[in-house]
Chain A
Amino acid sequence: MERIIFYILALIMIVFAIKAVSSRKMLRSVIYLLFVLMGIAGIYFLVDYTFLAAVQLAVYAGGVIVLIIFSVLLVHHIELQLDEATLKSRISAIVLSLVGGGLTLFTIWTYQFSPVENYKAIEVADIGRGLLSYGDGGFILPFEVISVLLVAVMIGAIVIAKGKRLEQ
C-alpha cells in the first residue's frame, strides 16, 4: 500500500516539477510547484514525520507560494508568455543536468547504505526538546540564530520593498 502511494507521489512530483520548470505561463508554473511541494509533504507523512509535513504545508504551500503568487500578479501580465531559452542553451542545460544526475545516481546506487529497521513515529515534544536543549546534540544556538535571521529578513524586506523610484 505504502509502495503504491510512494510511486504515485513520485510520479506526480516528477511530472509537475518538469512542468513547473518548462511551462511558459508564469502563474501556472507556480501552481505546478505547489503540487510538487504537497507531494513532498506527502513523503514526510509517509516516513512518519508528521510535524515536518505540517510545517512544509504551512510554510511552503501556505506561505511561500502565496507570496510568489502575489508577486507574479504584481509584476507580470497574466496573458504574457515567458521567453523561451534558445535551443542551444536548453540542450546544454539538459546535458549538464543529465551528466550531473547520472553521476549522482551512479554514486548513490553503488554506495552500500545500511538502513536500520524502524517504524516508530517521533513526537513533537522530542523535536521541541531537541531544539531548546543546550546539551549534547542540542540545537539552541542555531534556533536563536534563525530567529534573529527572521527578524533581520523582516526588517530588510520592508526597507527594500519600500524603495525609491528612478526619477526621484
Chain B
Amino acid sequence: MIQGISIYEILTLTSIIFFIGLYGFLTRKNLITMLLSIELIFNASAINFVVINKYLFPENLQGVFFAIFIIAVAAAEAALAIAIIINLYKLITSVEVKDTETMKY
C-alpha cells in the first residue's frame, strides 16, 4: 500500500477517471475516439482490482490476475475494433458514427 494514502483516495481517483471515460463515450462522434474512452474505463476498473487486492486482501493475488486478464482482453478488443474500423473506412471512407449504417446487414 502507498504510505499516507488511504484506499478512499485511490478509489476516488479511479471513479473520476471512469466517469470522464463515460462522458467521452457519450459525447464523442468518432469511432476511434470512442475506443479511447473505452480504454479509459477499462484502465480505471483495472486499477480498482489491483488496489482492492493490495489494501484489503494482500495475501491473495486474485486482483493482479484479473488486472492481467483485463489488460489482455482490452488489447484484443482494441486490435479487433481497429480491424473493423479500417475495414469500415475502406467501405465508406468515414469513421463517424452517423455514417456507419452499412454495417447493418
Binding site for B on A (CB under 8 A): 1-3, 6, 10, 13-14, 17-18, 20-22, 26, 29-30, 33, 36-37, 40, 43-44, 46-49, 51-52, 55-56, 59-60, 63-64, 67-68, 71-72, 74-76, 82-83, 85, 89-90, 92-94, 96-98, 100-101, 104-105, 108-109, 113-120, 122, 126-127, 130-131, 137, 139, 142, 146, 149-150, 153-154, 156-158, 160-161, 163, 165-166
Contacts and interface: CB of A to CB of B under 8 A. Distances in A.
Interface string B63-99: 0110111011111101110111111011110011000
B2 A46 contact: yes
Given A55-B68, A137-B60, A118 B1 contact: yes
A79 to B, nearest CB: 15
B15 A104 contact: yes
A151 B19 CA distance: 32
A36 B72 contact: no
Nearest to B36: A33
Interface string B17-54: 11111111011111011011101100100110011001
A46 B18 CA distance: 20
A90 B27 contact: yes
Contact of A146 (B30, B72, B79): B72
Nearest to A43: B47
Interface of B: 1-13, 15-24, 26-30, 32-33, 35-37, 39-40, 43, 46-47, 50-51, 54-58, 60-62, 64-65, 67-69, 71-76, 78-80, 82-87, 89-92, 95-96, 102
Given A21-B20, A67-B79, A127 B64 contact: yes
A75 B2 contact: no
Contacts of A154: 79
Contacts of A6: 2, 5, 9-10
Given A21-B20, A26-B30, A59 B82 contact: no
B39 A33 contact: yes
B36 A122 contact: no
A131 B43 contact: no
Contacts of B29: 82-83, 85
